[in-house]
């Protein structure tokens, strides 16, 4: 099969379950052709022998993308339904003023992503969710050095450190940080952020991608991380976690199970610790 960078492929040995983009084609030391892959809807890095790959037809790719859009829309419906209930609850507690008298200040986000295409999709989703977010594309290896500079520049309430990851050898010890493509860079990035702000309530951190070293990320200082069962996470899962934190009032602790329920992957792929919300209401609303 004649492949080039940018082609969409699937792995025959995995029953074509995930679609990938071809990132690079290399020759191994043994002379075998290996193809470096990135998931098109999951934050997964992988490599594969050339003969294990197949190029799916247009209809299959179209249906695959439709499924991703459908999952995303279902998450959005749940989020907007929850916000309506939250606003009704908050308004009933503030009987002296009408809801129109208040304005909203959800948490501000700095999203650092190793995949520029995913980053742009996430930024569009933040806009749809009415969250102020600054996005910066930084390759995973460069994130530890970039994090302090970007935090000082943008002063976020919430930071996302993500991109792509994966387990190099599934037969190795899952506790070995060197057995992951990028987990060690996410861990170093979290530590760099915590050197600037040690409080997990003052600066909320989501870190990780597909199959990332969940325990190491939480231990290094993340509030939320992937992946408890070393499964794949969807491109938008970090955004859905962030939305729950950004729109939970500072007077409440985010219910971790509710935050995870907002994601596509669920508890197999995302976990976290008790964290105070970042949402504030202001009064009065300016006419300008």
- The residue ranges of every structural domain in the chain are 8-56, 102-282
**pLDDT of res. 214:** 97
- What span, in angstroms and rounded, lies between the C-alpha atoms of 263 and 75? 7
- What span, in angstroms and rounded, lies between the C-alpha atoms of 232 and 32? 27
Reading the chain (288 residues) residue by residue, the pLDDT tens digits are 688 888 999 998 888 888 999 988 888 777 778 888 988 888 888 888 888 999 998 888 888 888 888 888 888 888 888 888 877 666 555 545 555 678 889 999 999 999 998 999 999 999 999 999 999 999 999 999 999 999 999 999 999 999 999 998 776 789 999 999 999 999 999 999 999 999 999 999 999 999 999 999 999 999 999 999 999 999 999 999 999 999 999 999 999 999 998 898 999 999 999 999 999 988 888 888
Contact by Cβ (8 Å): 46, 58: no
Contact by Cβ (8 Å): 156, 134: yes
Q: Which two structure tokens, joined as six digits, stand for 122?
A: 């996430």
**pLDDT of res. 100:** 66
**pLDDT of res. 28:** 72
- What span, in angstroms and rounded, lies between the C-alpha atoms of 14 and 47? 13
**pLDDT of res. 79:** 86
- What span, in angstroms and rounded, lies between the C-alpha atoms of 247 and 45? 31
Domain boundaries 102-282, CATH class: alpha beta
- What span, in angstroms and rounded, lies between the C-alpha atoms of 251 and 147? 28
* Residue 13 DSSP class: G
Its pTM stands at 0.86
Q: Where are the alpha helices (DSSP H) in the chain?
A: 58-93, 116-128, 143-154, 183-196, 214-220, 237-246, 256-261
* β partners of residue 47: 36
Give percent helix, percent strand, percent coil of the chain, each to the nearest 5. Answer: 40, 25, 35
């Amino acid at each position: 099969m004649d492949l080039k960078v940018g082609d969409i492929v699937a792995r025959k040995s995995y029953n074509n379950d995930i679609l990938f983009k071809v990132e690079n084609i290399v020759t191994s030391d043994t002379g075998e052709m290996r193809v470096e892959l990135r998931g098109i809807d999951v934050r997964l890095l992988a490599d594969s022998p050339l003969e294990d790959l197949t190029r799916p037809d247009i209809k299959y790719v179209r249906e695959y993308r439709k499924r991703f859009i459908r999952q995303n829309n279902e998450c959005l419906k749940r989020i907007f339904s929850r916000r309506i209930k939250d606003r009704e609850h908050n308004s009933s507690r503030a009987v002296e003023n009408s809801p129109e008298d208040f304005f909203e200040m959800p948490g501000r986000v700095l999203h650092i992503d190793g995949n520029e295409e995913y980053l742009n999709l996430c930024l569009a989703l933040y806009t749809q969710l009415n969250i102020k977010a600054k996005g910066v594309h930084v390759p995973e290896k460069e994130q530890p050095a970039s994090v302090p500079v970007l935090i000082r520049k943008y002063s976020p309430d919430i930071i996302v450190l993500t991109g792509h990851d994966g387990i190099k050898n599934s037969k190795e010890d899952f506790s070995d940080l060197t057995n992951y493509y990028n987990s060690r860079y996410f861990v170093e990035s979290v530590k760099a952020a915590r050197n600037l702000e040690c409080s997990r309530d003052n600066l909320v951190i989501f870190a990780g991608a597909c199959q990332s070293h969940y325990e190491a990320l939480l231990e290094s200082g993340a509030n939320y991380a992937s992946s408890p069962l070393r499964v794949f996470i969807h491109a938008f899962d970090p955004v859905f976690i962030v939305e729950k934190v950004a729109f939970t009032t500072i007077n409440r602790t985010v219910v971790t199970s509710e935050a995870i329920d907002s994601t596509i992957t669920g508890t197999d792929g995302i976990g976290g610790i008790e964290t105070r919300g970042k949402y504030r209401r202001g009064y009065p609303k300016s006419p300008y």
